[in-house]
Amino acid sequence: MKAPDFAYVRAESLDQVFDLLAEHGDDARLLAGGQSLMATLNLRLSSPTLLIDLNKVPGLSGITETKTAVRIGAMTRHFEVETSPIVARHLPLIAAAMPHVAHAAIRNRGTLGGSIALADPAAEMPACVLALDAMIEATGPAGKRRIRSDDFFLGMFETALDPNEVLTAVEFQKSQNGWYWGFEELARRHGDYAMVGLAAMIKGEEICEKARLVFFGVEDRPVLARAAADALDGRRIDAEAIGAVKTALASDLDLHGDLQADPATKRHLANVLAERVLSALVAV
Amino acid sequence: MEKHVPISLTVNGEPVEERVPARLNLVDFLRQNLSFTGSHVGCEHGVCGACTVRVNGQIVRGCLMLATQADGTKVETIEGVAASGEIADLQRAFIDHAALQCGFCSPAMLLTAAELVANRPDADRDEIRAYISGNYCRCTGYQAIVDAIEAVLVARRKDGLS
């Protein structure tokens, strides 16, 4: 037993969660799948006095679709997302990225909402959410609000969620005909956090009309490469265009080194991934 | 707000009722309170996979789940799964292919392999490698483990069992 001593509440409703957050503030942590939080507790990198377990709060889990959108409840396990026919059909980028999220035993437990709310800069799901221009649903004592993914990831483990809010769902527009996707990451072991990764959504049959290239494992948050997207705008995606993307990435990515690789190595790897992904885009 | 929590669950088919510290993780509970020491404790932060157990039929990291979160669930450890005969062919194949040496990773490796052969009967070697990527083995170099799992997949396909 290595985790610090804490109290524990198995919450039964969001209202109860809001009350506990109001009472305990920063001393409380929300427990979703626990696949990152438990590790930090075991390592004593965090020492909350209260864990509020969301696993028994009704209504936070499940994948539903409307004509144009797919809604994934925050407590939906990665395994459910990975094996969902709705996700496979309408969000192929997520389906392709999911096998890279840790390992089977962790995907059985980890949740989409937990991954997005944690906002690990090297994680796959925040990058996919950003590439898909998804909306994040936050619920607080005053009700729900929707936050655009562009405005959600603010820094290392830092998001636009208020301290009294709970991430309750992520809503994606269904990927449409005419869109292409690509996903690649480089990790030392399959399932480990990426040294560098790229999630891409591109619109346009012959020429690129719109591109969302999101790199992860590169800065303190997933990075939407805007200059690279501009470099593709209105062009056929060929060797020349890919070269222009690589040049643009120099201004897009303010690379941080980490234990796995220094900034120069990461820049090289980002270029490698840009080339691989843009050369092998898959139609939605 | 309680630092101790009452839990009620089944472990290897037997009902268990206990009052546990909130911070006690599942694998420590299984090992220390119930003496199911087949689940091993390696890194204790979700990397090595040695603590793999089943909760409601799915493998999980025993170090990344609190014992209190197992309330109301059905937990199975290597002791229960091996005794049931469910993985007898995997155990035999691990021996035949020398897919273990020190044995520390073996219980978790077997539970992970059991989920793979049950859920993905058509898995090839690449898929086997991806599926066991969350389980470290420091002895075998994995080749023999992949061989053993592949042999079971082939045999079960031939027998029409999966």
Cα A198 from Cα B59, distance rounded (Å): 29
Q: How far is A2 from chain B (nearest CA, A)?
A: 8
* Best of A21, A42, A185 to mutate (most B CBs within 10 Å, chain B): A42
- At B118 the pLDDT is 96
* Token couple for A139: 């619920």
- A198, with CB counted inside 10 A (0-12, 13-18, 19+), is buried
> Mean pLDDT, to the nearest integer, of B57-61?
98
> One-letter amino acid identity for A131?
A
Bridge partner list, A203: A179, A210
Q: Looking at this protein, which amino acid is placed at residue A227?
A: A
Please report the pLDDT score of residue A23 as a whole number.
97
What is the least distance, in Å, from the CA of B160 to any CA of chain A?
24
Which chain B residue's Cα is nearest to A193?
A: B47
B75-90 pLDDT, tens digit each: 999 999 999 999 999 9
Token reading at A144: 């729900």
Provide mean pLDDT across the span A207-230. Answer: 97
**Across A231-240, average pLDDT:** 95
| Burial letters A138-160, b for 16+ CB under 10 A, else e | bbbeeeeeebebeebbeeeeebb
Scanning every residue of chain A, which has its alpha carbon at the shortest distance from the alpha carbon of B25? A1
What pLDDT is attached to residue A104? Answer: 96
Taking alpha carbons only, the member of A96, A6, A99 closest to residue A50 is: A6
Question: What confidence score (pLDDT) does residue B1 get?
Answer: 74
Q: Does A187 touch chain B (CB under 8 A)?
A: no
- From A209's Cα to the closest Cα of chain B, the distance in A is 36
Sequence-ordered strand ranges (E) for chain A: 7-10, 28-31, 50-53, 63-65, 69-73, 135-140, 143-148, 153-155, 158-159, 166-173, 179-186, 196-203, 210-216, 223-224, 282-283
Query: Does A2 have pLDDT greater than 90?
Result: no
Residue A53's nearest CA partner among A23, A75, A82 is: A75
Residue B162, pLDDT score: 52
The three-state secondary structure class of B69 is: helix
The Cα of A63 is separated from the nearest Cα of chain B by a number of Å equal to 20
Is A38 within 8 Å of chain B by CB? yes
- Report the C-alpha gap between A159 and A171 in whole angstroms: 17
Closest CA to A281 of A227, A249, A238, A235: A238
Phi, psi of B133 (to 5 degrees): -65, -20
Residue of A nearest to B67 (CA): A1
Angstroms from A192 CA to nearest CA on chain B: 9
pLDDT > 60? residue A149: yes
CA dist B77 and B27 (Å) reads 9
Q: Report the candidate in A51, A119, A102, A116 with the shortest Cα–Cα distance to residue B61.
A: A102
Query: How high is the pLDDT of residue A256?
Result: 87
A13 pLDDT higher than 70: yes
* Residue range A106-111: mean pLDDT, rounded: 98
Question: By C-alpha distance, which of A121, A115, A97 is closest to A35?
Answer: A115
Angle formed by the axes of helices B88-96 and B143-159, nearest 10°: 130
| Cross-chain residue pair A8–B5, CB shorter than 8 Å | yes
User: Does A47 lie at the interface with B, CB-CB under 8 angstroms?
Assistant: no
**Taking CB atoms and an 8 Å cutoff, what residues of chain B touch A2?**
44
Averaged pLDDT for residues A241-263: 94
β-strand pairing of B58-61 with A282-283 = unpaired
Give yes or no for a contact between A199 and A131, defined as CB atoms under 8 angstroms apart: yes
Q: What is the pLDDT of residue A1?
A: 60
CA distance A2 to A68: 47
Averaged confidence pLDDT in chain B = 96
- On the question of pLDDT at A101 being above 80, the answer is yes
The per-residue pLDDT for A214 is: 98
Give contacts of A 103-162 with B, CB under 8 A. Answer: 103-106, 108-109
**pLDDT tier for residue A192 given thresholds of 50, 70 and 90:** confident
In chain A, the residue whose alpha carbon lies closest to the alpha carbon of B59 is: A105
pLDDT digits (tens, 9 = 90+) for B79-132: 999 999 999 999 999 999 999 999 999 999 999 999 999 999 999 999 999 999
Q: State how far the alpha carbon of B40 is from the alpha carbons of A239, B52, B108, in Å.
A: 51, 8, 8
DSSP class of residue A193?
P
3-state percent helix, strand, coil for chain A, nearest multiple of 5: 35, 25, 40
In this prediction, residues A114-143 reach a mean pLDDT of: 98
Average pLDDT of span A175-190 = 94
Considering only CB atoms, which chain B residues are within 8 Å of A191? 130, 133-134
Per-residue pLDDT at A96 exceeds 70 = yes
Question: How far, in Å, CA of A222 to CA of A125, rounded?
Answer: 10
Q: Between chains, do A34 and B66 touch, taking CB under 8 Å as contact? A: yes
Q: Is A102 on the interface with B (CB under 8 A)?
A: yes
Indicate the residue type of A119: A
pLDDT band at residue A193 using 50, 70 and 90 as cut-offs = confident
How many alpha carbons lie under 13 Å from residue A273 in its C-beta half-sphere? 27
Q: Which residue of B has its CA nearest to A106?
A: B60
pLDDT recorded at residue B161: 60
| pLDDT tens for each residue of B60-74 | 999 999 999 999 999
Q: Which residue of B has its CA nearest to A39?
A: B45
A30-73: per-residue pLDDT in tens? 999 999 999 999 999 999 999 999 999 999 999 999 999 999 99
| Among the partner residues A8, A38, A190, nearest to B22 by beta-carbon distance | A8
Per the model's pLDDT, the better-predicted residue between B160 and B107 turns out to be B107
Q: Cβ contact (<8 Å) for B59 and A43?
A: no
Label residue A206 by pLDDT band (50, 70, 90): confident
B29 touching chain A per CB within 8 A: no
A64 three-class SS: strand
Nearest CA in chain A to B47: A192
pLDDT > 60? residue A4: yes
> Could B46 and A189 be called an inter-chain contact, meaning their C-beta atoms sit closer than 8 Å?
no
How far off is chain B from A122, nearest CA to CA, in Å? Answer: 16
